[in-house]
Each structure stands twice: as structure tokens, then as C-alpha cells.
Amino acid sequence: MKLEATTVDIGTSRPLVLLNTIDAAELGAHPIDRVRIEHAGQTTTGIVKRTDELVEAGTVGMTEPLHHVRGTVDVTLAGAPQSVRYVRKKLDDIELEAHELETIVRDIHENRLSDVELSAYVSAVYTNGLSLEETKHLTEAMTDVGKQLSWGHPVVADKHSIGGVAGNCVTPIIVSVVTAAGLTMPKTSSRAVTSPAGTADVMEVFCDVEFSIDEIESIVTETNGCLVWGGGVDLSPVDDEIIRAENPLSVDPAGQLIASVLSKKRSAGSTHVVIDIPYGEGAKVESLVAARELADDFKRVGTHLEVDVTCAITHGTDPIGRGVGPTLEARDVLAVLEGDGPESLRLKSVRLADMLLEHCGVDASATDILESGRALERFTRIVAAQGGDPVVESDDLEPGAESTTIRADRAGVATRVDNRQLCDLARRAGAPLDSRAGLVIHRRVTDSIETGDPLYTIHAETPAKLAEAERLAERLEPVRVRSTADALVERR
């Protein structure tokens, strides 16, 4: 069918082709079918979206990835890519071969899968899991389709936390300590998947996080490190597409998690990596046994990729910092670097930094580097190199002005602080998209509480989102308060 190509902007990164219902019916094209588009001696493929209004009969609308297509084009039906068969195979809980995973990854990278098909892949992995061999092959495939950095150093440090714990923003502190000790640590981070703030979201409070590879190399040359968004430099770019599909479902299956983390580390040129695996009630990993199994799989896949991986299995039943959300976590980070801040955040940062220094063969004390002010000085250098204000102080970082404090309706003891519920509340308040939204946590497990004591404060940027969070708070109990007698029974 001969049609005239016209550009349309409907805010999508997918290669959608808008067909008028009349033309689609004549062609026999249904929603999410593929069509082959021949133009100027070239052939491309698009995913069908039918419409009565956005394009007229006789024309075909090209979304942003296909804006290069112009003039009269020949549109014919095309079959689904081979990867759709492999996704269906995984839905049937059949183990995939290396070439099948490579095909899925390549088709995701080249935008050949529709949103529905990509969601089906995520659902298949979440429901049926990935074997260790599948995880190895997937990690290699995700690494190979993107760019890869090389630093020319025998030791390049890195760290990652699998998340699931509120206020767990230790990474900027660790990078500051480790680079101040002389190691190279080009930290590339993802944005939030299921949490109210990823490291990239927190760092964006201070400075830019999106840079070209040449710019990153310049920053690292100047400061020994960086804290940037990995998706901005095409490192394992398929990971960002998969995260986009995981976000609405708030899922992060173990095999995909390992492939996501280690493909980024391999692409970033990291040689020595510490993985933080928090476990406990309300964390992503709820049992010590599951945490150990995940750690073993991280190490096995790391060995396969020639990346030296060690894992820290940490308690994840309590929030780490006081703040939850980009600005509130940024405030905690800077306060720790200034010599104050939440003690739990400082202790965990020091422990992981010491572990990474030892793993890289450096004889230095994270506590000494932090207390001497060298870590703060290095952090401000990194912020300045990334276009931020190096003289900002923790008190300058203000959360959203719309706020409410939830108070205890009884006296007793805090027997549980639920990370998942806290994260749900912070997201409902607007985090991470609203950088100043989130929570401040006032109580920890075992704290004694009187009636009327503040438990946590919700911050939002708009009254509507604060009201949404308040309605959710009425149904949840993120800080559980029990009488002293009931608390003793609960512990037993």
C-alpha cells in the first residue's frame, strides 16, 4: 500500500506507525502488528497503532524514532520478530539458550518489541526466574550491545546496592572516601526502579548526572571518580528499557537484577566490585538464606565476566538514613560528609568503603578519611566537575513545603519500621520525579514512644500529592508501635 509519510509526536521512544482505521482495515493490520516500510531504497519496521483522528486516510504517521522516513512509502504487513517466540517460550518456563537471549536483547535494543511484548518478557522472568546459565548469557548479551569503557588501570573500584531499604544512599559517601584514598571509581548508577530514589536521582539534587563518555573521562581524570547516570552514556542500554517495563509493576527479579548490575559494571570498566545485599522483613531479599544464594550467584556471574565480585550481606529491616526521597537523602549524605548526619548511614558507608578498599588492596581507613574532611573535599570536587555548586551545605537542601507529620496514637515500643511501606508512601508523595518529595523518619526499631510522638513526616511539592500520601498512610502502618508487654511477646 502506497501512503504519504508524516511525522507525529505522541511522546514515545517506540517506533510506532499510526495508520488511519480505513487504511489499517484494507491492509489487514491490527494494533501491535508490524508493518514493513520501504522508502528511498531502504526498509524499516514499525509497530501499528490504529487511529481515526491523528492521521488521515492515505497517510501514515511516523513517531520520533522514524522521523527520518519521508515522502511516499510502501507499507506491507510484516511478521513478529523471532524474539517474540523466545519470550513465549520463557512464559512456558522453558530455559532459553544463549542465542535466544541474545536475540531478545538485540530486539529490545533495536526497539523491535512492543511495550506489551517487553512487559511479557519482564513478567516471564519474574514468574519463572532465570537459571545461572541464562543469567550469564543474558549479562554478556546486555553488555555487548552497548558501549564499554576502559580506564587503563589494573584496579577500578565499584559498588552497588540491590536496594529495597529506605534511605540507603551510601554510594556518594563511599565514592568520596574511595577516590580520596587514590582509587579510580567511575560510578555509573541507575535511576530508581522500585525505590523513591536511586543514586542518580540523589546526585541530580547536587549536579548534572548525564554526560558523554568523553565528559566522564575528563571528570574521572580530574577527580578519580564520578557519580553519573549510566543510561546517558549507552552502557548496557537494554537495561534501561527493561527497567522502564519493570517500573509500573514494581518488580526486580533476581536473575534480571544480576544481569542488570553486572552488565553495567562490566560496561563501565570496573574490575573490583562490592555488592550490598540487604535482607530482612520488608527488604527485597527477606531471608538470610536467599541473600547468601543471591551473593553466590553474583560471584559466579562476576567470575564468568572476569569481574572480581565480593558481597556484603547487611540487615535491611530498618531504614538507613532519616530521609527517603532525592532531596532528603541528599541532605543526609552531605550531613554525614560534614561530620554529622544519621549514625546508621555513616556506619554502613564506612563499613562498605573499608570493604571495598580492602578488596582493592588499599591499606587505608574509611573512618580516618571521613573524619579528616578529605571525603567531603573530594565530594565537592566531583560535584563541581559535574557542573554543581561545590559550596552547598546540608541545611540548604529544603524538602517539599507541603507536609504533614504522622504521630503515635499509643505509647509503647517501635517493633518494626517497614521499608516497603515507607517507600510506597514516598512514591505516592511524588518521589523520585518530584525531587523534594519524600519522608523524614523520626523513629527506629526498639525506640520508646509516647502518645503523640512524631513517627514520620511526609513531604510533597503539591497539596494533591500530599493528600494522596495521607490517604495511603491511613491504610498502612510503616512504624509499628506496640505496648512493652506486646513487644516482648512479638520478639519471642
Residues taking part in catalysis = 252
- Please choose, from the candidates 158, 156, 176, 220, the residue with its C-alpha nearest in 3D space to the C-alpha of residue 349: 176
Is 114 in contact with 15 (CB distance < 8 Å)? no
With beta carbons less than 8 A apart as the criterion, state whether 143 and 266 touch: yes
Task: Report which of 444, 365, 432 is spatially closest to residue 209, judged by C-alpha positions.
Answer: 432
> CB within 8 A of 247, min separation 6: which ones?
193, 194
81 backbone dihedrals φ, ψ, rounded to 5°? -65, 155
Output phi, psi for 54, to 5 deg: -70, -30
Helix axes 419-428, 463-475, angle to 10 degrees: 150
**Cα–Cα distance for residue pair 339/447, rounded to 1 Å:** 24
Confirm if 17 and 37 have CB atoms less than 8 A apart: yes
Sign of the dihedral defined by the CA atoms of residues 257, 267, 88, 23, in that order: positive
**Pair type for strands 448-449 and 412-417:** antiparallel
